[in-house]
Amino acid sequence: MRTDNNVKVEAHGKDHAFIYETVPTVMNTGFFIADRLFYPGDAFHNPGKPVEILALPVAGPWMKISESLNYAREINPKAAFPVHDGMLKLWGPVHILPSKTLEPMGIKFFDLKKENSIDI
């Protein structure tokens, strides 16, 4: 726990949520700020105390939207706002991860929007 200028910040959790067996687990810490706002990072960590405002992960290669909704129900904040939604943009991790994972197995992964033609 650290307090700067009378703002309390607590660290919660330590591991990124599981993505896939070929993707190594990395450190990922969530933060509870001012005993009001909880940002869980890239995991559905429960801080074990009441949360007023939740930064709710809504998209990622490690989750389904149903898991996000169930997590919000579990945490039961007064309010939530979406985070971890950058992959919803064109050619984000939702396309990069399959390419990096499948191509070493001999499976070509391509984005039809970026490529005019392909050879299979």
As a whole number, the mean pLDDT across the chain is 81
Q: Do residue 6 and residue 65 come from a single domain?
A: yes
Which residues make Cβ contacts (< 8 Å) with residue 42, sequence separation at least 6? 16, 17, 28, 57, 60, 62, 84
Please tell me what DSSP assigns to residue 17.
P
Domain extent, residue 96, equals 89-120
Q: Do residue 65 and residue 51 come from a single domain?
A: yes
pLDDT of the residue at 113: 63
Q: Do residue 81 and residue 41 come from a single domain?
A: yes
Q: Do residue 52 and residue 75 come from a single domain?
A: yes
Arithmetic mean of pLDDT, 49-71? 89
Q: Is pLDDT above 60 for 31?
A: yes
CATH of the domain at 63: 3.60.15.10
Higher pLDDT pick, 53 / 101: 53
pLDDT of the residue at 2: 57
Q: Is pLDDT above 90 for 98?
A: no
pLDDT of the residue at 111: 63
Q: Do residue 97 and residue 49 come from a single domain?
A: no
Q: Do residue 107 and residue 74 come from a single domain?
A: no
pLDDT of the residue at 92: 57
Quote the number of domains for the chain.
2
Which residues are bridge partners to 12 per DSSP? 30
Higher pLDDT pick, 34 / 110: 34
pLDDT of the residue at 114: 58
